[in-house]
């Protein structure tokens, strides 16, 4: 039986060993699994870790364990045939692998990259070790052992798909991304990096809403703004879509691109052609789905990612009052210990820009009210995000429950709608009204649309109607007509429980 307790447990220089000597440096969760698999094999096993609790547990199992820095060669035994570097930190594992290789040049070195490993860490470790253990593969395998059904299939499918990417993955949010799209893109980039894949968060359009700009600026979020005039396939090997599901619809990607990953929380009417698809309408935000993946793969979110994800969930569920599920609450709770509350407070209190105030004034003046519904054409716009804020503000008018504010720029009519306190499914209503002319959809109480101006843009100065009047008549006419036979939003079990908590 190998000695235990302190360095006397390791063989001195005068001892000649004829058995296989195995040395484990660092003992995170993965390292503990490795130690367990080695204890029943013949030969000596020694573990060096700075985790005192792990050392005590190993000694109780009669494993020779030393509480010390696994990066310090002074703590190493005189000989090792196999060295397994298995700490939780990628940086520490790199150092340990380098020093173990120098100390034991004839030994086989196997290294776990670390729970926080990046692609750069994996590349560096491959230069030092005979074999590198893929962190996402280890975690995924462990999760899959205890997971069943849809959860296991999703984890396996996402891991396999990410590993198949040969080059840089573009994680694309929808045009003019909101907090949910921004946060989801950041989270998927983190998971892709954990899988050893280079990935970049991307978007088309602008981040112009003051709260969205505040989120990006205060968290120092780095997202790539793509040029719609340049084919992104010249630079990226593959594409993932978050918070939307079809290339060329609510994003400016070429429509013939087939994404490898699609994750969204409001499925479209049409089938999605992608390698891996996760479309679930039983959660209130795509960020909630991304939190689930981070948790299942064992990836701890950074403060930046966690703060963005929590804000994304809060915005898309309207502070847990809209289309909320138990999963949204669970995801938010798991993020709380990682977020920066001060930044959240600052993001939620931005100042209104002059453009927003101008659009709001025009929306109030041009409103077309029919019962509890208001539609308003504000004409040409400079900031399309101002439409959403105006639509939200018009709900404050007494007796108004549904609003649609729309304007045009660069040959496209943009519309943003809101509804509150009704059974109307606004996303489906807008699809019925405008999807044949362009693209439309969204949530039951928050939706949008884009319609090319087409022949409306060719109206000359000699016309008796202005372009704004024609846009108003066309969009408002279709919208009000669709509302006459509009679909209702389905009631979820969680919605009923929240509304009537005392019911059986």
- Which pLDDT score is estimated for 423? 81
Q: Give me the DSSP letters along 210-277.
A: HHHHHHHHHTT---EEPPTTS-GGGT-SEEEEES--STTSSS-S-TT---SEEEESS--SS----SEE
- Which pLDDT score is estimated for 16? 43
Structural domains of the chain in order of their starting residue, each with its CATH number? 7-133 (3.40.50.720), 149-347 (3.90.1640.10), 354-483 (3.10.310.30)
435: which strand partners? none
Tokens of 150: 């849809």
377: which strand partners? 406
- Which pLDDT score is estimated for 493? 35
Q: Rounded CA gap, 365 and 387, in Å?
A: 14
| Burial letters 202-212, b for 16+ CB under 10 A, else e | bbbbebbbbbb
- Which pLDDT score is estimated for 172? 97
Query: Cα dihedral sign for 104, 105, 109, 113?
Result: positive
pTM exceeds 0.75 for this model: no
SS3 139: helix
CA R_g for the chain = 28
- Which pLDDT score is estimated for 441? 81
pLDDT in tens, the chain (504 residues): 333 333 333 444 444 445 678 899 998 877 777 787 777 666 688 999 998 888 888 888 888 999 999 999 999 999 898 899 999 888 999 999 999 999 999 888 999 888 777 778 888 998 998 888 876 666 555 555 545 556 767 887 888 899 889 899 999 999 889 999 999 999 999 999 887 789 999 999 888 777 888 889 889 998 999 999 999 999 999 999 999 998 988 889 999 999 999 999 987 777 888 999 999 989 999 999 999 999 888 788 899 999 999 999 998 888 888 788 999 999 999 999 899 988 888 887 666 678 888 999 999 999 999 999 999 999 999 888 889 889 988 988 889 999 999 999 988 999 999 998 778 889 889 999 998 888 888 777 888 999 998 856 554 444 546 888 889 999 999 999 999 876 555 444 333 333 333 333
Q: Rounded CA gap, 456 and 470, in Å?
A: 7
Tokens of 502: 């005392």
């Amino acid at each position: 039986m190998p000695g235990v307790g302190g360095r006397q447990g390791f063989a001195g220089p005068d001892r000649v060993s004829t058995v296989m000597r195995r040395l484990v440096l660092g003992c995170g969760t993965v390292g503990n699994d490795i130690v367990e698999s080695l204890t029943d094999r013949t030969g000596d096993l020694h573990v060096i870790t700075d985790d005192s609790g792990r050392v005590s547990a190993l000694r109780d199992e009669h494993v020779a364990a030393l509480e010390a820095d696994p990066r310090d060669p002074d703590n190493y035994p005189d000989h090792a045939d196999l060295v397994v570097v298995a700490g939780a930190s990628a940086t520490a594992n790199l150092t340990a692998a380098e020093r173990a290789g120098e100390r034991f040049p004839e030994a086989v070195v196997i290294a776990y990259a670390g729970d926080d490993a990046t692609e750069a860490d994996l590349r560096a470790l491959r230069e030092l070790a005979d074999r590198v253990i893929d962190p996402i593969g280890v975690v995924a395998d462990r999760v899959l052992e205890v997971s069943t059904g849809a959860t296991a299939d999703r984890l396996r499918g996402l891991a396999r798909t990410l590993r198949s990417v040969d080059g840089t993955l573009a994680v694309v949010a929808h045009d003019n991304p909101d907090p949910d799209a921004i946060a989801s893109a950041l989270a998927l980039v983190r998971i892709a990096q954990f899988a050893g894949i280079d990935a970049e968060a991307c978007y088309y359009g602008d981040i112009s809403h003051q709260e969205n700009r505040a989120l990006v600026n205060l968290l120092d979020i780095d997202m790539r703004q793509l040029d719609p005039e340049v084919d992104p396939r010249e630079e990226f090997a593959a594409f993932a879509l978050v918070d939307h599901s079809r290339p060329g619809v609510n994003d400016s990607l070429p429509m013939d691109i087939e994404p490898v990953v699609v994750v969204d929380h409001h499925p479209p009417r049409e089938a999605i052609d992608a390698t891996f698809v996760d479309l679930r309408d039983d959660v209130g935000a795509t960020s909630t789905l991304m939190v689930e993946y981070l948790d299942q793969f064992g990836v701890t979110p950074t403060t930046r990612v966690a703060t963005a994800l929590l804000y994304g969930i809060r915005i898309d569920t309207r502070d847990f009052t809209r289309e909320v599920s138990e999963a949204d609450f669970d995801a938010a709770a798991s993020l709380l210990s990682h977020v920066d509350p001060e930044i959240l407070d600052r993001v939620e209190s931005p100042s209104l820009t002059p453009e927003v105030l101008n659009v709001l004034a025009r929306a109030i003046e041009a409103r077309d009210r029919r019962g509890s519904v208001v539609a308003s054409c504000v004409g040409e716009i400079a900031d399309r995000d101002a439409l959403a804020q105006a639509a939200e503000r018009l709900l404050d008018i007494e007796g108004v429950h549904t609003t649609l504010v729309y304007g045009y720029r660069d040959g496209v009519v943009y519309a943003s709608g809101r509804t509150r306190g009704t059974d109307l499914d606004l996303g489906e209503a807008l699809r019925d009204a405008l999807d044949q002319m362009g693209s439309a959809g969204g949530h039951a109480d928050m939706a949008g649309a884009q319609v090319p101006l087409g022949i409306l843009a060719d109206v000359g100065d000699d016309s008796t109607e202005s372009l704004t009047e024609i846009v108003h008549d066309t969009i408002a006419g279709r919208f009000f007509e669709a509302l006459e036979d509009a679909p209702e939003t389905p009631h979820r079990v969680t919605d009923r429980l929240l509304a009537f908590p005392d019911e059986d």
